Every structure is written in structure tokens, then in C-alpha cells.
Amino acid sequence: MALSIGFFGSYSVDEQGRFAGNRVEGATFPNWVGGVRTTQELQLRVEGERMYETFTRPDGGRLRAEVVRAR
């Protein structure tokens, strides 16, 4: 699946409402299913209708994504 990623799951937040982690429940990459990411691997920032995600891969590479809320 070139140039696209799809996944869904549950996200958790701490007492202040900040991202604490997530669990992947389904994905276009089967090896992602069941994966748990904490703030060590994944940083999220929300600004208005946009969410910015930075993910650090096990090999040290970093991926960045911007997600816009659907209307």
C-alpha cells in the first residue's frame, strides 16, 4: 500500500488530559495490530482542528504526520 497508512485503536490521556499512550486495534500493516505506543515512541500535539503526531521507530527513524478533523 504505497504512500498511505490506515490504523485505528484506543488512546489514553493522563489526569491533565495529555496523551499518555495508544493501542492499535486494526491497521493496514498487520504487524501493527496489538502494538502499544507510549509517549517515549509517540508524541501528539493538538491545535484546534489539527493533530500533529511524531513517531520514533524502533530503528531510530522519525515519522511526522498531520491529521485534520473531518467535517
The pLDDT tens digits of the residues spanning 39-69 come to: 888 898 888 999 899 988 888 899 898 989 8
Q: Are 66 and 46 in contact (CB under 8 A)?
A: no
Q: How far apart (Å, rounded) are the C-alpha atoms in residues 25 and 34?
A: 6
pTM here is: 0.66
pLDDT at 2: 64
